[in-house]
A and B are shown apart, each in its own frame.
Chain A
């Protein structure tokens, strides 16, 4: 029996071509998520712990 996946991603990806730059949409999504996480890590305030002093 063939396995059933909730999301099939074995079909060919869509590629965005911009001049000499070519990037797949899945790669672009991952890169954008990394940039967003980086921005959040910088901008979000540190959680406030119990001050010892």
Chain B
């Protein structure tokens, strides 16, 4: 049949190239020797460069540092945790059920996997830490009042105070009078605890003895401006190629340039966080990179793309000695 004949011709040509006898020079090659030399050279370079430059030594961000440098912001964030209006409290899966999570078309991984790492913002970040230490009389009374109130009452106190504090531009001394229950005292108690350095250890000690899970600390830190400001100062924000950068004057992850590139497109980082592409940027960019990775993986099977080496024959430069002896096709 005509079709079969047409298919067979290029296949036979390929087989011919593969079975052609090597006419170029031969020499011995020891891959183990090369590997050992590479290992020794890289080891020496590593020791030399580590001695010369050391490694990034950025002081850790702590709750004490936050509450000391920006007490108003820490106080306001504590109120938001109680009211359930912080970013983490309203995030949805895998931390809580406050939202559905991000979905793109039929792909909704947050809903699919559900709440796998439960975080109760009010209790985990405020009430439990306060309860874990001996408190002053007013904080102890505030905790008792909070505990004896219904869930609806707690939410009403906290959301009313959160709104009033926002209206007062975060200045607790200018909040309008109202029924806020024990919320102001609880928030101040937590701010005092954090300023004294006690909150860092207490949040760390929740869970198992040897703690390696810092999810709660990072979520709480991320709800305020402290972490965000530190990231901006260190050029680590996503919309300024931060994914590629490192603290200090160290080189960062330059190989993440393509992943970072998408976040520089204005549609993915607009000033309006409610824009679809901006609010779904993480998910959409993840899918873009997944598709591009598949393209790279399947490159030998994609017509056109697989012919790039023929159009840009860099391999002919590398093996120029061989191609010099070959007749031009």
- A25 smallest CB distance to B (angstroms): 8
Which A1-47 residues have C-beta < 8 A from chain B? 3, 5-7, 9-15, 20-27, 29-31, 42-43, 45-46
Chain B residue at minimal CB-CB distance from A50: B27
Residues in chain A near residue B56, CB distance under 8 A? 10
Within the assembled complex, what's the spacing in Å between the Cα atoms of A48 and B84? 71
Determine the main DSSP class of B at the interface with A. loop
Which B287-315 residues have C-beta < 8 A from chain A? 314
Judge whether A5 and B53 touch: CB under 8 Å: yes
Which of B240, B250, B318 sits near A26, CB closer than 8 Å? B250
Residues in chain B near residue A42, CB distance under 8 A? 314, 317-318
Number of A interface residues in the complex (CB < 8 A): 31
Segment with Cβ contacts to A, from B138-146, B213-221, B241-249, B274-282: B241-249
Within the assembled complex, what's the spacing in Å between the Cα atoms of A6 and B102? 48
B52 on the interface (CB 8 Å rule)? Answer: yes
Residues in chain A near residue B251, CB distance under 8 A? 24, 26-27, 29-30
A interface, CB within 8 angstroms of B: 3, 5-7, 9-15, 20-27, 29-31, 42-43, 45-46, 49-53
B interface, CB within 8 angstroms of A: 25-29, 51-54, 56-58, 233-235, 240-241, 244-252, 254, 264, 314, 317-318, 321
Task: Give the 9 A-B CB pairs with smallest separation, nearest first.
Answer: A49-B27, A26-B251, A52-B26, A9-B249, A10-B248, A13-B249, A30-B251, A51-B25, A27-B254
